[in-house]
Structure 1
Amino acid sequence: MKFDSKTIYAQSSDIKSRTYLEYRRDMKKKPIAELEIKGWFEKLLRIEYKNNNIIVKKYGGDRFLWFLRGGGVTQDPDYVVRGLNNDELFFELQYANEEMDYYDFKRSKVGTKKRGVAKREPKENLKFLYLVRGSPKYAILSPAWIIKHGIEKVAAAWGSREVYAISKEDLLSQQKEDKELEKIWQIVKTKNYLLEFQHQKVEKIKEELSYLLQQVIDEEKIVQIIPKSLESFFRICFILDSIGKIPKNANLWLIYVLHFFNEKTTSEELTKIIYSVDFLYAKTSLTQSELKTVVDFIKQILLNIKNFQQNNGSYKTDKNLSPIEETRNIIFCINLLEDLIQDILYYYPEESQNFGLKPIEKIFENVDNIEKVYNFITSN
């Protein structure tokens, strides 16, 4: 597995005190919006330019991956627009959570700096799509316009980085409205709610198993012996994950845990299997045969999950589990499985193509009837 250092902007310090799953949850919030907005944006540009050949795609290192294992983000623009003559046009998506007096744009994203020249030169072939969360308002801004109208300052919200601050009045002069955006923002809100809802499973796991960390005596022993039961396997993976250790023969562990899955597996058991798979997968490199086994497993689970959904939006695998916890379990599993798919596409591009693995076009796209699911959760 190769890491492309050119795509890594910030390093592992980005993760700070967050666990790996917490970090991934946080890194997923903006891509939820980016992927939901992409289709609307493509239609908008086709109308604006009177060109039905325009295609908008996610761009750069995060076109497949919304998190990097070592922490960090990419410096690449969010979208690339193709079909405009022979040129590619790049777009950065920015949005404010609410209307403000000033809107900040990081100077390094807007313009390039030349030695001995105080003023930055606006970047070419780049524009900004600026939105306000929950609002039908949008604006398409050029770097030249931002530099011309922006006030240079240091913004705490950007980690004390230098920004161009655009006044509310100036931004208003460039804004247009499209009611379709309000519907998209509602979907974004729903998916962010599901993101937090499923992450509560992580907190529950930590609460239930934290006592195990006090009992770890022989770290060397627990990385060598493969546990025989799913519960033991899951607990050992939790311990190893928490203390930053990797089992010896991690590949063997990974393939072994897949064998705990069968047609009678409950959602609670499934969370333990997939948690373990997610932990082990990230700690090793896979052979083509091992990778195919993992990909086949992912495809089978996603297929089975569809059969677990009930008419009211909940999920059911076991009469002894509450519907709300079953639903949390399944969304937790979908969340990790979609991460795994994107990671495989990024780090194993040739193999994943051979295995027919397709990228996730929208986060939580494997949650069918998502509004029903959301309504079920919020009514319980």
Structure 2
Amino acid sequence: MKKKGIAELEFIPYLQDLLQERYEDNSVVVKKSGGDALLWFGRTSKQVTREPDYVAQLPDGTQQLYEFQIAEDSDINYFDFKVSKVGKKIRGKDERRPHLDREFFYILRDRGEYAFFTPKWVLRNGRYGFVQAWRVSAYRVPRGKFLKQFKSGGGKLERVIDIVKDKRTLLEFQEEFMDKEVTRLARKFQQVVDDKKLVEVVPNSLKGFYEICFLLDRIGRGPSAPSVWLVYLTSFYRDDMTRLEFARFMYALDFVYFKCLQLTRNEVAACSKALESALRYVRRQASGSNGSFRASPRESAVEATRRMVFGVNLLEDLIQDAIVEYGMPLKPIESIFQTIRDPRATAGYIRRAAS
């Protein structure tokens, strides 16, 4: 879901520019819509809806909805549209009435092209058929008809596509931190996992806190008093913590926070302070123009960067949820990995290090 969120957020300014050109009016404003308008990381079922991805406020005061789709590869025979996104079923008839309040905004990544489609156009030009990859039926538009509708987006579109690619590189890169931790801690906790034992003792160090949270996460359990753990955990934050400690702190904070049903005023204050401190920490750890993060003699620059990107990924999720749920006075996350000083430079550093 985060990969989709990266693209949806990055394409908001581009779509807004296209619509301002279409209506010849700079007052057109595009915003994220749907159940994941503010929370795109899929932690709760309430974020998953069938609402369109964007809503545009038009010059005449009306709103237009937009479904966003992006094809990684245009060399396919059919382009598929989910039935529910195209239209509503007419009661008593084996047909659908196309939605009139929305359009599809479609990107061909490999060709650097874009197009708009109305649901009516999809109904007229698509064939109703089974999509093996989705395991459901959909409207399938033949490649020949489909590609004729596209226009070149030029350098502006190419830049957005490149940014999305870079941020997806960051997302995939940081996932390796947890892959390595699973391997490292597997033997240590194997017996506990096998026996489904629940740890109730509050750990007395950041490393212990992290490892207990890791264990509970693996066996699908949580602390009996998560809000108490949350406040206690925030006391482990230090401005001089290592990159590894930062990654552990953010993992534990993320785990405990999302186990809390409701935070009190004091708990909200403690959490807000911890998130603000974490933001300042990230800013201090940026290294040079090559996009890497500071490293100690005991760690490579690559591992230091991986740990920081891992922590940032969780930090931004927490910030956005804390704003929505508790109104914490934090800057909203409008672009995933915006907390990293130069996401594109960091992605470039990662690719160079891997080559």
**Pair 1:206 & 2:179 matched:** no
User: Do residues 308 (structure 1) and 285 (structure 2) align?
Assistant: yes
Q: Choose the corresponding residue for 1:155, options 128, 131, 135.
A: 131
Match of 2:86 among 93, 99, 110: 110
Find the counterpart in structure 2 of residue 369 from structure 1.
Answer: 342
Q: 1:101 to 1:221 in 2, by over 3 A?
A: closer
Instruction: Report if the CA contact (8 A) 1:341-1:359 is conserved.
Output: yes
SS in 1 for 2:115: strand
Residue 117 of structure 1, CA deviation: 1.6
Aligned to 1:58: 32
Alignment of structure 1 residues 211-360 onto 2, 5 Å: 211-216=187-192, 222-223=199-200, 225-284=201-260, 285-311=262-288, 312-316=290-294, 318-346=296-324, 348=325, 351-352=326-327, 355-360=328-333
What is the CA–CA distance in structure 1 between the aligned matches of 2:4 and 2:56, rounded to whole Å?
19
Kept in 2: contact 1:230–1:273 (CA 8 A): yes
2:141 maps to 1:166: yes
Q: Distance in 1 between matches of 2:345 and 2:21?
A: 33
Amino acid at match of 1:309: A
**Does the 8 Å CA contact 2:5/2:41 hold for their aligned counterparts?**
no
Preserved contact between residue 38 and residue 320 of structure 2 (Cα < 8 Å)? yes
Residue 33 of structure 1 deviates from its aligned partner by 0.7
- The count of aligned residue pairs is 347
Matches within 5 A, 1:76-115: 76-99=51-74, 100-115=76-91
Pairwise CA distance, 1:53: 0.7
- Separation (CA, whole Å) in 2 of partners of 1:187 and 1:48: 24
CA contact (8 A) 1:110 1:122 kept: yes
- String of CA shifts for 1:195-237, please: whole Å, max 9, x gaps: 01001001011111111332328866622x1111222111111
Paired residue type of 2:169:
Y
After TM superposition, give the deviation of residue 135 of structure 1 in Å.
Answer: 2.6
Query: What does the per-residue CA deviation read over 1:277-299, in whole Å, with 9 as the maximum and x for residues that have no partner?
Result: 11111111211221222122112
* Amino acid in the other structure paired with 1:216: V
Q: What are the Cα deviations for residues 346-367 of structure 1, in whole angstroms up to 9, with x where unaligned?
A: 3x1xx31xx3223211111111
Q: Which amino acid aligns with 2:33?
A: Y
List gaps (5 residues or longer) in structure 1. 1-26
Q: How much identity, in percent, do the aligned residues show?
A: 37
CA contact (8 A) 2:167 2:344 kept: no
Query: Per-residue deviation at 1:70?
Result: 4.3
| Closer/same/farther in 2, CA of residues 376 and 231 from structure 1, 3 Å limit | same
Partner SS state of residue 30, structure 2:
strand
Letter in 1 for 2:61: N
TM-score by length of 2: 0.93
CA contact (8 A) 2:127 2:139 kept: yes
**Structure 1 residues 48-57 or 337-346, which shifts more?**
337-346
Note if contact 1:103-1:167 (Cα within 8 Å) is conserved in structure 2: yes
Please give the secondary structure, in 2, of the residue aligned with 1:56: strand
Query: Residue type matched to 1:231 in 2?
Result: K
Match of 1:181 among 133, 149, 157: 157
Contact 2:295 2:301 in 1 (8 A): no
The answer to whether the 8 Å contact 1:139/1:171 transfers is: no
Q: Is the 8 A contact 2:233 2:253 kept in 1?
A: yes
Structure 2 Cα separation of the partners of residues 144 and 137 of structure 1 = 21
Task: Give the CA deviation at 1:90.
Answer: 0.2
The answer on whether the counterparts of 2:291 and 2:349 sit within 8 Å (CA) in structure 1 is yes
TM-score (norm 1): 0.87
Shift in Å, 1:245 = 1.4
Cα distance in structure 1, aligned partners of 2:83 and 2:197: 49
Q: Is the Cα contact below 8 Å between 1:151 and 1:165 reproduced in 2? A: yes
- In structure 2, relative to structure 1, the CA distance for the partners of 1:246 and 1:184 (3 Å cut) is same
d(CA) in 1 for partners of 2:198, 2:42: 30
- CA-CA distance at 1:275 after TM superposition: 0.6
Cα distance between partner residues in 1 of 2:217 and 2:121:
48
Distance (whole Å) between structure 2 residues aligned to residue 46 and residue 313 of structure 1: 34
Question: Which amino acid is 1:318 matched to?
Answer: S
Unaligned runs of 5+ in 2: none
CA spacing shift, 1:369–1:221, aligned 2, 3 Å: closer
SS, match of residue 84 in structure 1: coil
Counterpart CA distance in 1 for 2:41 and 2:345 is 28
Q: Please give the root-mean-square deviation of Cα atoms over the aligned residues, in Å.
A: 1.7
Cα separation, 2, equivalents of 1:314 and 1:288: 37
Return the alpha-carbon distance in structure 2 between the equivalents of residues 220 and 163 of structure 1.
46
Task: Within 5 Å, give how 1:117-132 maps onto structure 2.
Answer: 117-132=93-108
Aligned to 1:197: 173
